[in-house]
Structure 1
């Protein structure tokens, strides 16, 4: 299939500076054709704007039923996603339709990508997103299918610390974030299978259930880590509001109480994840995103 990859994906893979991802992008049309032929599906169209970590195509199965074929480079751990989706088996998450094929592509039930929880009013969106997230927090599968929170955040902590020399102005926030992480990983209260990159836009409308999560980057660890990304959803709206700091503190409290998560642990992981994302945005030149994230982190 001849096509131009969505620009959003091209830009995102350009930021990661990974030769493997670049090679994957150069071959993605061929990879899509091969994955479709292997599953005996017909490609209808590539979803645009699509995601930042993989290619999503609308396809038809041999019986005419709609589905989605998702391809991702190895650095985005498509086989860890496969393992998590297999374990959830459609409970709270999009259903995997080809659990036995391990080639970096996933055949998934088709949802409604134009209707995410983010399209709802904010209070309703947070409620529905939190309810979806709760369903995903289950005992992890046996065997080692994905990273742990200490492993993932350990790698991130090294990169954040190394960035201080280039961006000395962020040193106080980095110190606070790394100190919070050290305390948190020393005493995790539970081990659950987590979505890993959960936010409102990752919850789509479906036929089988009203809302289903998509696009996990699964990790095993404590629930507060997963919930932390949801705290900063619509961060640009928070930054634009004179009540942003107060709204953020109320959101931490409300989400912690509604999902039985320790409030201080949620605050700590929210701080670490916001600083890590903000520093990463600085490194790749997304200055506006970095400013928003680091200002948000300062409120915590």
Structure 2
């Protein structure tokens, strides 16, 4: 079988590929080797798939449906492996293989075309929030996961560079950076977080109704994880005359339902929206940037 990477993956990785990176070019052979070593039967490549990995629907030697996931080193696949192993299937997809896989993970098969995002908005938020709560556990002793302070520090530097000489975004960037400094000054209890949680990262399963996939794990406060969920369906929020009011109610409702401080959630939502908006401008996605930065003005 020809393991042709979906165009969505090619475009997304092309935005972040360092000079000389050959992972995409090597991917077909990497996939063939991974399938052969594990004695898998390939059904199909998942399309459109994700933005940071190739997802292949397979069956194991005993016929069990599974998913083979291949990701480049910059997507931190071994960090994902460690988090999935620590969760042990509690709220997240189950890891089926053990030990380092050089960017290859064999995972429990969920229903890839059925995410929480397919539900009506109110129920989608409820189900997504319930799934996220199960993931917030104490990190393993001696862990090597990135911290919220470390990750947002790197992002803050990129935001400053992206806003240099840009009077349009400079005030928002300053507000977001100020919010980060205040939030990190007195952080609450740390938990293992999904890191990139949103409705589309919660898929229907057989073992449990809904399970999270695709973590980019980080250790820090719960409000950081919840912040990305606040802006889900941002295009619908922007199109609505009452979008700003709906956003404020969403912050309040999610904070109360998951026992997170409302102001801390608002602050991290602001930081993450501005960071994503500035990054979208930098890589040539002006429409996404416009939506995210307008959303940030409501916070």
Do both share a fold (TM > 0.5)? yes
Q: Report Cα offsets for 1:104-160 as digits up to 9, x if no partner.
A: 100000000111000000000000000000000000012233100000000000000
Q: Report Cα offsets for 1:175-217 as digits up to 9, x if no partner.
A: 0000000111111101100000000000000000000000000
CA contact (8 A) 2:68 2:107 kept: yes
Aligned match of 2:187:
188
Q: Is 2:9 the counterpart of 1:9?
A: yes
Aligned partners of 1:50 and 1:199: how far apart in 2? 15
CA contact (8 A) 2:78 2:100 kept: no
Aligned partners of 2:207 and 2:144: how far apart in 1? 27
Aligned match of 2:134:
135
Q: Report Cα offsets for 1:71-91 as digits up to 9, x if no partner.
A: 000001000000000000000
Q: Is 2:257 the counterpart of 1:263?
A: no
Aligned match of 2:200:
201
Q: CA deviation at 1:174?
A: 0.2
CA contact (8 A) 1:58 1:67 kept: yes
Aligned match of 1:167:
166
Secondary structure of the residue that 2:106 maps to in structure 1? strand
CA contact (8 A) 1:83 1:145 kept: no
Aligned match of 2:19:
19
Secondary structure of the residue that 1:147 maps to in structure 2? coil
Secondary structure of the residue that 2:297 maps to in structure 1? helix
Aligned partners of 2:31 and 2:260: how far apart in 1? 41
Count of matched residue positions in the alignment of Structure 1 and Structure 2: 299
Higher mean displacement: 79-88 or 96-105: 96-105
Q: Any unmatched runs of 5+ in structure 2?
A: none
Secondary structure of the residue that 2:207 maps to in structure 1? coil
Aligned partners of 2:75 and 2:98: how far apart in 1? 18
Aligned partners of 2:278 and 2:286: how far apart in 1? 10
Aligned partners of 1:59 and 1:137: how far apart in 2? 30
